Amino acid sequence: KSDSAVFADGINDWKFIAYTATFSGSGNITPALFVDGSQVAGSIQSSLECTETKGALWTSSDKLYIGCSNNAGTASNLLTGIIDEFAIWNVALSAGAIEVLFNSGLPIDLLKDKDDYEGLTENLQAWYRFEESPSSAVIDHAEISEGNLQGNPTYSTDVPQ
């Protein structure tokens, strides 16, 4: 959820956000940003600075921070909002696969093939559903790595409808 001006629908509306990065082999990455299953205008995408050098950071052993910045190992710029169903793949998903994932706002099982999401389950690297009871542990449903909640997050049973 967001109450940011970027999402003018309001604070109580869930938004499905997807970002893909395709390496071109010429030193650049082609980014694509999707909101609610549809790719957004190129002007927004072009503001996302992407190079293969920056992409290499994603393969480092640094901890991944979701909903904030990793400032030398310390969480900063914390998101004010709710995050649910965070996943990472080791391939750029097609627009069709992202539309299947959006599924009109209702979560799907990322471990099962479905329509244009066919064959992508093996590329799933992390899937945090954030459906655990309030605790500091977060289960990776892709069963690759576990996570920990930081910054005093609040647990919510609010879900898209």
Q: Which residues of the chain have pLDDT under 70?
A: 1-12, 25, 27-28, 41-62, 104, 132-137, 146, 148-161
Give residue 96's pLDDT. 92
SS (H, E, C) the chain: CCCCCCCCCCCCCCCCEEEEEEECCCCEEEEEEEECCEECCHHHHHCCCCEHHHHHHHHCCCCCCCCCEEECCEEECCCCCCCCCEEEECCCCCHHHHHHHHHHHCCCCCCCCCHHHCCCHHHEEEEECCCCCCCCEECECCCCCCEECCCCCCCCCCCCC
Give residue 132's pLDDT. 64
Give residue 97's pLDDT. 92
